[in-house]
Chain A
Amino acid sequence: DAGITQSPRHKVTETGTPVTLRCHQTENHRYMYWYRQDPGHGLRLIHYSYGVKDTDKGEVSDGYSVSRSKTEDFLLTLESATSSQTSVYFCAIRGITGPNTEAFFGQGTRLTVV
């Protein structure tokens, strides 16, 4: 199994509070991704990173920011959590770009905003 650890695995937070989710990898992979999974929507890309300090937005980036100060860590921050951000969040990693390479996923973080 690819070495990907997401933390926390579960979190309940209040509306309006900031929340940071962490993805840590031990594979030294260049590409890291944050997705959210919601019923009826499948997986939607929030942000991704193609190197240290290099990030870009995905299709549902509003309300989220990311940072990558080290190869192994990719942080997702909800600046001010809202109930619409209740979801399961997955981190994924990929060694090289190009269509042939698969992504490896973490176990997910279940976030509930009350």
Chain B
Amino acid sequence: GDSVTQMEGPVTLSEEAFLTINCTYTATGYPSLFWYVQYPGEGLQLLLKATKADDKGSNKGFEATYRKETTSFHLEKGSVQVSDSAVYFCALSVESGNQFYFGTGTSLTVIP
């Protein structure tokens, strides 16, 4: 079935470090891929998305490239800030269904 596997956390980085959070997926057809972010005490917000192979989604310095050959959608940021501390969720949506499939989330803490 359709699913997302996400890098286990928690992740702790120093400010200005490089961030990678791995995400791989299994899906039938041609899914769209998403990264959501959840700040403490809040709901999920869309961070970025990519709707076809080789697309790159980007927002707030974060990037992720839809790699069909490796079924991956890794999240990267070149220089993290304390304000990036949050939980990050990878998700997919398939053509044939109404649902989203979420990874388990990766908690990121950035220390000054």
Using a CB-CB cutoff of 8 Å, which residues 78-112 of chain B contact chain A? 89, 93-95, 97-100, 102-105
A97 touches B98 (CB 8 A): yes
- Contact status B104-A103, CB under 8 Å: no
B30: chain A residues at CB < 8 Å are 99
Residues of B within 8 A of A42 (CB): 6, 89, 102-105
Verify A43–B89 contact, CB threshold 8 A.
yes
Q: Is B17 in the interface zone, CB < 8 Å from A?
A: no
Contact A105 B32 (CB under 8 A): no
A37-73, CB < 8 A from B? 40-45, 48, 50, 58
Q: Number of B interface residues at 8 Å Cβ cutoff, please give it.
A: 25
A47 to B45, CA, bound (A): 20
Enumerate 19 A-B pairs (CB-CB under 8 Å) in ascending A order: A31-B98, A41-B104, A42-B89, A42-B103, A43-B44, A43-B105, A44-B102, A48-B98, A94-B98, A97-B97, A98-B95, A102-B34, A102-B46, A105-B36, A105-B43, A105-B44, A105-B45, A106-B43, A107-B42
Complex CA distance for A41 and B89, rounded to whole angstroms: 11
B44 touches A45 (CB 8 A): no
A58, B75: Cα distance in complex, Å: 27
Interface residue? B51 (CB, 8 A): yes
Check: A100 CB closer than 8 A to any chain B CB.
yes
Query: How far does the alpha carbon of A45 sit from the alpha carbon of B70 in the complex, in Å?
Result: 27
Distance between Cα atoms of A31 and B99 in the complex (Å) = 10
A106 to chain B, nearest CB (A): 5
CB distance from A8 to the nearest CB of B (A): 15
Interface centre among A31, A43, A45, by most B CB within 10 Å? A43
Q: Is the CB of A99 within 8 A of B104?
A: no
